[in-house]
Chain A
Amino acid sequence: MSASRDDFIIAIRSAFLKKENKQRFSLVGLIFFSVVLIILSNLNFVAINYIKSGLNEIVYRISFIVSIPEKQLQKSITIINEHVSMYSEYKVMENKIRQLENNNLNSNFLQAENSRLKRLIDEYITESDELVAKVLLDKDSPFLKSIIVNKGSKDKVSLGMAVLDENYLVGKIVEVNYSTSRVLLISDLNSKIPVIIEPGNVQSILSGSGKNHGEIQYFKSSSEISSENVVFTSGSGGIFKAGIPVGKIENVRINKNYVTRFLSNLDQLTFVKLVSYEKESKN
């Protein structure tokens, strides 16, 4: 009994403490160093932030180059899938265009009228600075949904900026380096956005699910929400302006939460707009 315990202790000691042949570093030393790094990261130690920022700059560039073959493969798969489903999608698109043309006739007039009325009641009218950024990395990790873009603090990117694909919200800036930034996508589990569901004016929170859809949480149970209702940002909290389209309600519910299909395909982002909003000056 004690002999087998001794063997166990010897094997553990040998595995973790003994520096092996041709190994420059001891395992236990590096484990200790990792733990120190984690603790300092947790304490937001300044030096760690500098190290991280420096590493980010190097790693993102290398990772962009290393990812090229996989991206090509991914593109080829997407192209094949698109070709296969082209005809059925064409028919759907044809109907949609007809509907959109009808809607568009009214929308310009309504937009102008809305803007005029908002000025009258001193609502939060915004003007924005726009930057177009290229997506360097889009790691579709099952755990974290984020992308890296090629604009950073040198281009005046700041934390919290909204990230749009055309006119649709796709995420916000959560990390800014000198020449790159990380965007937390709206599909990430940690993403929570105040939204409004129209028609019906239902205020709610859109939470990422870690998959390619969102979930509508914290709404009044008496609210009338039905499929194909459109989800917009509500502007609460002041991070995003109100009225940015985000998604459409689907006819499926998960744990009593409504499922939202995003208007932008988050797997296919190549260029995005980084936008910051400020209150319009009155003069």
Chain B
Amino acid sequence: MSVLAKSTTFNKLLSFTPSILLFVAVLNEYDLNYLNFKYFSFNFPFILIFYWSLKRSQSLGYGLIFAAGLFNDVVIGYPIGISSLTYLIICGFAAYLRNITLRPSLINDLFFFLFTILVANSINYFLLISLFSIELNYYELMGNIFFTFILYYLFAYIFDIFRKNIFKGKKND
């Protein structure tokens, strides 16, 4: 009986994994920059938010995503609200893709993800440059978009395995 209870608690904890990962990602900003590969960086929160908003939106609430955006702004020193807006735009695009997709395909998702992060980063770039006069390195940004796009495939594959094992039998919305 107690083993059953323990396993239920553990499963419940596992179901919070996307939210926990998102907050760890924004608070820690792990993007392997310290490896010092030229132009190598990627935006893990973008991948996480897009994937879970697309595949299982109830695992990652919009409120949490908004809060994660505020935390990200504080950590990297952006004006308040910029990252929240970017993250929520990604959610919106993912929700749109979910609504129009009849037969899901990773390749379709991947290219729609590319379009999404191009739009989201453009808005982000435009707001920072025009409203707040913050200079950004355009090439670094393009490198970031490229690697985020490439790595989506890998992370989507890992998340797929995780989702199928943890949320099996539970209904998606």
A residues at B contact (CB < 8 Å):
7, 10-12, 14-16, 20-27, 30-31, 33-38, 41-42, 48, 51-52, 55-56, 59-60, 62-63, 66-67, 70, 74, 77, 137, 139-144, 146, 175, 182, 189-190, 210, 267
Given contacts A25-B63, A27-B62, A210-B140, 7 further A-B contacts (CB under 8 A): A16-B92, A30-B63, A55-B80, A63-B75, A140-B34, A144-B134, A189-B135
- CB atoms of B85 and A38 under 8 A apart: yes
Decide yes or no: A62 and B27 within 8 Å by CB, A35-B85, A37-B80 being known contacts. yes
Chain B residues whose CB sits within 8 angstroms of the CB of A25 once the complex forms = 61-63, 66
Q: Which of A27, A48, A59 contacts B27 (CB 8 A)?
A: A59
Decide yes or no: A41 and B80 within 8 Å by CB, A22-B173, A25-B61, A25-B66 being known contacts. yes
- CB atoms of B28 and A56 under 8 A apart: no
Contact mask B84-103 → A, CB, 8 Å, 1/0? Answer: 11001101110110111000
Interface of B, helix, strand, loop or mixed by DSSP: helix
A122 to B29, CA, bound (A): 49
- CB atoms of B74 and A52 under 8 A apart: yes
| B66 → chain A closest CB, angstroms | 5
| B44 → chain A closest CB, angstroms | 12
Of chain B, the residue at the smallest CB distance from A49 is B80
* Residues of B within 8 A of A (CB-CB), count: 55
| B148 → chain A closest CB, angstroms | 12
B residues at A contact (CB < 8 Å):
23-24, 27-31, 33-35, 39, 41, 57-58, 61-63, 65-66, 69-71, 74-82, 84-85, 88-89, 91-93, 95-96, 98-100, 127, 131-132, 134-137, 140-141, 143-144, 173
Of chain B, the residue at the smallest CB distance from A7 is B100
Interface of A, helix, strand, loop or mixed by DSSP: helix
Chain A residues whose CB sits within 8 angstroms of the CB of B134 once the complex forms = 144, 190
Q: Which of B75, B77, B79, B96 contacts A15 (CB 8 A)?
A: B96
| B37 → chain A closest CB, angstroms | 11
| B58 → chain A closest CB, angstroms | 4
- CB atoms of A74 and B75 under 8 A apart: no
A122 to B87, CA, bound (A): 56
Chain A residues whose CB sits within 8 angstroms of the CB of B173 once the complex forms = 20-22
Chain B residues whose CB sits within 8 angstroms of the CB of A182 once the complex forms = 77
